[in-house]
Amino acid sequence: MTGFRLGCVPGVTPAKWVRIWTERLPRVPLELVQVSAAEAPDLVRRAEVDAVLLRLPIDRTGLHAIPLYVEQTVVVVPKDHLMTAAEEVTVDDLADELMLYPQDDVLDWDRPPGRLIDERPAQTGDAIELVAMGTGLLVVPQSLARLHHRKDLTYRPLTGVPESQVALSWPEDETTELVEHFIGIVRGRTANSTRGPATPKKVAKKPRPTTPQKKPRRRR
């Protein structure tokens, strides 16, 4: 078997699955490839990676996608913001707030909350910098808030808004044995699961044919 190239969008942490892969397939290297949310579907369509961990929704044309888990949505605020007094925030609490809406936003909005700032930052990381400068607040999946952690910022859970769903995606016509192995890992199958890829079975040795022994002749 050759190596397995797994794409991964920012914030998604597949460490547990990579560890299990290494334990089960020590001779097959798994290469993690960091990809942007925008380029992830096309990269796997072009087979530049074997599979990719991304966030839904996506254009599923030519792709399989298995939803894995839902991420908590949070609002990122400066540590001295009044909103930090609350354990969680509602979308109504953001109605009068200036809000940043980066171009690489991954949430499926009908309309983002609050008073949107006209100039949209190119990247979530740029928006985080602007939050630290006091320009506005930012809504993201919790994993992205952790990825861009800063000592002068914090976040609070946000209710009443879309949530991000992480999924494993691969080409419809390229469900290889290695992809099947990784599907089994993310679905929690054991190494001996009958639903996993087939493993060669030991062939029992056939017993050697025995030669019938001749009966001794009686002496007359």
On whether residue 210 sits in a domain, the answer given is no
Question: Within this chain, do residues 104 and 175 fall inside the same structural domain, yes or no?
Answer: no
H helix runs in the chain, sequence order: 15-24, 40-45, 124-132, 142-147, 177-186
On whether residue 101 sits in a domain, the answer given is yes
Question: Pairing relation of β-strands 73-78 and 137-141?
Answer: antiparallel
**pLDDT score recorded for residue 173:** 85
Question: Within this chain, do residues 63 and 80 fall inside the same structural domain, yes or no?
Answer: no
Question: Within this chain, do residues 152 and 170 fall inside the same structural domain, yes or no?
Answer: no
Q: How many domains does the chain have?
A: 2
On whether residue 217 sits in a domain, the answer given is no
Question: Within this chain, do residues 77 and 158 fall inside the same structural domain, yes or no?
Answer: yes
Per-residue pLDDT of 162-216, as tens digits, reads 999 999 999 998 789 999 999 999 998 887 764 444 443 343 444 555 555 555 5
Burial class (CB in 10 A: 0-12, 13-18, 19+), 35: buried
Token duo for residue 208? 């050697």
Given a contact cutoff of 8 angstroms between Cβ atoms, the answer to whether 92 and 163 are in contact is no
Supply the range of the domain harboring residue 38.
Answer: 4-70+165-186
Dist CA 189 CA 179 (whole Å): 14
**pLDDT score recorded for residue 208:** 54
**pLDDT score recorded for residue 53:** 98
**Intervals of the chain under pLDDT 70:** 1, 193-220
**pLDDT score recorded for residue 55:** 96
**pLDDT score recorded for residue 219:** 55
**pLDDT score recorded for residue 214:** 55
Q: What are phi and psi of 7, to 5 degrees?
A: -75, 150
Dist CA 128 CA 150 (whole Å): 9
